[in-house]
Amino acid sequence: MSTSSDARTATDYPPIKPQHTGLVGKCPRCGRGRLFSGFLALADHCEVCGLDYDFADPADGPAFFVITFACIPVVAFAIWMEVAVGAPYWLNALLTFPLLLAFCVLPLRPLKGLMVATQYYHGAREGALDPAGNAGTGAGR
């Protein structure tokens, strides 16, 4: 009896590392479907395996990492140009603005995909209080 790809269950899919799917915007379960419906908008579900992306909530995580790892060096470059070189404001803006756009906008999609794939890989869900009072003991896992 052959199994169609539409009838496969979650146990039929071997785990795929998040960096193999998230960075390229592929489904974290099958690795073939699209994760995004727009530049940063998540699709509702995978068109290949049917995984519902409702579990995904990267929130402001990608923006935080972009600000931390991209904006700080670009601003440091702008300050260096102003202090060490004494570049006029128009030249500083001409060189710094494209760097800021490139280093801030381009990494957002891969980072968001990586965060969604990591959430799926580790089974992360929305936090909730443990009614049994086992917080911090690991007993509720």
Tens of pLDDT, residues 14-57: 899 999 999 999 999 999 999 999 999 999 999 999 999 988 88
pLDDT at 109 over 80: yes
Tell me the pLDDT band of 58, cut-offs 50, 70 and 90. confident
81 φ/ψ sector (left φ>0, alpha ψ -120 to 50, else beta) = alpha
Residue 22 makes CB contacts below 8 A (sequence gap 6+) with 28, 35, 110, 113, 114, 115, 116, 117, 118
Residue 103 makes CB contacts below 8 A (sequence gap 6+) with 66, 70, 71, 73, 74
Structure tokens at 19: 């960096």
pTM summary value:
0.74
pLDDT at 123 over 80: yes
Question: Are the C-beta atoms of 99 and 74 separated by less than 8 Å?
Answer: yes
Using CA atoms, how far apart are residues 95 and 74, in angstroms rounded to an integer? 10
